[in-house]
Chain A
């Protein structure tokens, strides 16, 4: 078996092994270190010695032994320093019948790592390490920060989990929906982090989008009937399907309307469409399902012009009812322009310019520029592109917007 095969197997077993060890012995923070060491031992030994018959049992045994060693030295140090490590049990106790019924260790770990007491960067880092089975060095590389910084972030996150004293089990049923929302948001952030970062040395870089899809697949497997889990997985697949067409040979961004649709990943589109088609009729769709439905319409359209824009417009309107996210409002304005003409879209954009969050956002100016270009007002469009470029923060976006402005220079006015 190759090193990659071993690595894939280990990443898949990581949360199961950590779950088993924490369930048995508690001490999430130390157990997590012990499991990392067991994974490392397997990664070096298995490619040469072969994979043991009971690979999961092997990892659990090695991790449990390592946990005993780590706890012993920790306790010995504490005795030397004469500090008794006392902690308080959580006040609220769950219904004992509830605890084992539908508990899955991967899901419990996700709930722990995405604990609301942690900051988003801490939730993301811990999720990738404890559930994804990535090493600290890999997580650090994925976020382009030093390993020392990432180590501190993870250590602090684990300390916070330890201090919170939360037991190893699913949250009480009443708060589960809310907590699942946090888990999905963290997975979504991991995905967008990977999707937005198009540059960087890729040799050692873990593909965050791929990892987010893998983790969301695990959640979907545990909760197959949850519409929003299915919706998020579909959204990721339908978005990631366009990856190859998103940038050109020189690394510049290519907008959706101009992408070579033959480069899109047909398997991902088929899987995403199937997921969202099955999820939508099951109840009132949440925001991930609506976004996935929009992405599916784009992905199934043969071209930008032949897209079902009135349908997209209607879906954005549903989405707007759920959140006052200004970017959703901006996307809605684009859909209005495509469905009802650029003038109607520009009228929407004009009302959005009053929004504090959007007023200085390059995306508002970029949309206005596109719509002005559609109306044929090239001079105004050119100015809007330049205004957008000045406000854009990342280089590929600036290059794209300046290129659009330059194209209008040569256009007959």
Chain B
């Protein structure tokens, strides 16, 4: 069974990680290095257990292009999000034997080192990836 683990960040969080302070303090080089090495080990372990299908990080929210229509008139917007709005920042697709196992994998992200203000309210979502009922049979 496949599940997607989603993590979120605002443009301000991205700025912090890039070393730029906003309303939120900037990450130190050590902060960033600690997170990077945690993620590397986390991903390597998942790959090793055969549970990792793929993982990606998304570029900063500012690089978002939204396409839509307004009253029937097509439009394109660059950077549609507010600075503080949390949006999808990265994801993992894992293949494992239950929702509970996928949840466990996601829970290990809580151990990811980061500045205190980030750790204090960090979260991730786990969502089942659609499969036919024959696949869960």
Give A contacts to B, CB under 8 Å: 20-26, 54, 56-57, 60-61, 64, 89, 93, 96-97, 99-100, 103, 167-169
Contact of B49 with A96 in the complex, beta carbons under 8 Å = yes
Most chain B CB neighbours (cut-off 10 Å) among A26, A54, A64: A26
- B105 CB → nearest A CB, Å: 8
Contact of B99 with A169 in the complex, beta carbons under 8 Å = no
Contact of B100 with A167 in the complex, beta carbons under 8 Å = yes
Partner of B98, one of A60, A89, A168: A168
- B129 CB → nearest A CB, Å: 11
Q: Could you tell me the distance between the alpha carbons of A25 and B126 in the complex, rounded to whole angstroms?
A: 11
B125 at the interface (CB under 8 A from A): no
Contact of B51 with A96 in the complex, beta carbons under 8 Å = yes
> Which residue of chain A lies nearest to B99 when distances are taken between CB atoms in the complex?
A26
On chain A, the residues within 8 Å of B136 by CB distance are 20-21, 23-24, 60, 64
Contact of A23 with B137 in the complex, beta carbons under 8 Å = no
- B104 CB → nearest A CB, Å: 6
Partner of A60, one of B97, B101, B104, B137: B137
> Which residue of chain A lies nearest to B51 when distances are taken between CB atoms in the complex?
A96
Contact of A89 with B104 in the complex, beta carbons under 8 Å = yes
Q: Could you tell me the distance between the alpha carbons of A291 and B123 in the complex, rounded to whole angstroms?
A: 54
- B25 CB → nearest A CB, Å: 28
Q: Could you tell me the distance between the alpha carbons of A56 and B51 in the complex, rounded to whole angstroms?
A: 27
Given A26-B99, A167-B101: 8 more A-B contacts, CB < 8 Å: A20-B137, A22-B98, A23-B99, A57-B134, A57-B137, A60-B136, A64-B133, A100-B96
- B-side interface size class: 10 to 19
Given contacts A24-B1, A26-B103, contact A54 B97 (CB under 8 A): no
- A308 CB → nearest B CB, Å: 49
Q: Could you tell me the distance between the alpha carbons of A103 and B98 in the complex, rounded to whole angstroms?
A: 11
For chain B, what secondary structure do more than half of its interface residues adopt (helix, strand, loop), or is it mixed? helix
Q: Could you tell me the distance between the alpha carbons of A64 and B51 in the complex, rounded to whole angstroms?
A: 24
Most chain A CB neighbours (cut-off 10 Å) among B98, B136, B137: B98
Contact of A23 with B133 in the complex, beta carbons under 8 Å = no
Q: Could you tell me the distance between the alpha carbons of A22 and B1 in the complex, rounded to whole angstroms?
A: 12
B128 at the interface (CB under 8 A from A): yes
On chain B, the residues within 8 Å of A24 by CB distance are 1, 98-99, 128, 136
B107 at the interface (CB under 8 A from A): yes
- B4 CB → nearest A CB, Å: 14
> Which residue of chain B lies nearest to A64 when distances are taken between CB atoms in the complex?
B133
On chain A, the residues within 8 Å of B97 by CB distance are 23, 99-100, 103, 169
Q: Could you tell me the distance between the alpha carbons of A168 and B134 in the complex, rounded to whole angstroms?
A: 20
Contact of A169 with B137 in the complex, beta carbons under 8 Å = no
On chain B, the residues within 8 Å of A57 by CB distance are 133-134, 137
Contact of A96 with B101 in the complex, beta carbons under 8 Å = yes
On chain B, the residues within 8 Å of A64 by CB distance are 133, 136
Contact of A169 with B98 in the complex, beta carbons under 8 Å = yes
On chain A, the residues within 8 Å of B134 by CB distance are 54, 57
23 contacts between A and B (CB under 8 A): A22-B98, A23-B1, A23-B136, A24-B1, A26-B98, A54-B137, A56-B137, A57-B133, A57-B134, A57-B137, A60-B133, A64-B133, A64-B136, A93-B104, A96-B51, A96-B96, A96-B104, A99-B96, A99-B101, A100-B97, A103-B97, A167-B98, A167-B104
> Which residue of chain B lies nearest to A95 when distances are taken between CB atoms in the complex?
B49
- A374 CB → nearest B CB, Å: 60
Contact of B100 with A169 in the complex, beta carbons under 8 Å = yes
Q: Could you tell me the distance between the alpha carbons of A60 and B134 in the complex, rounded to whole angstroms?
A: 9
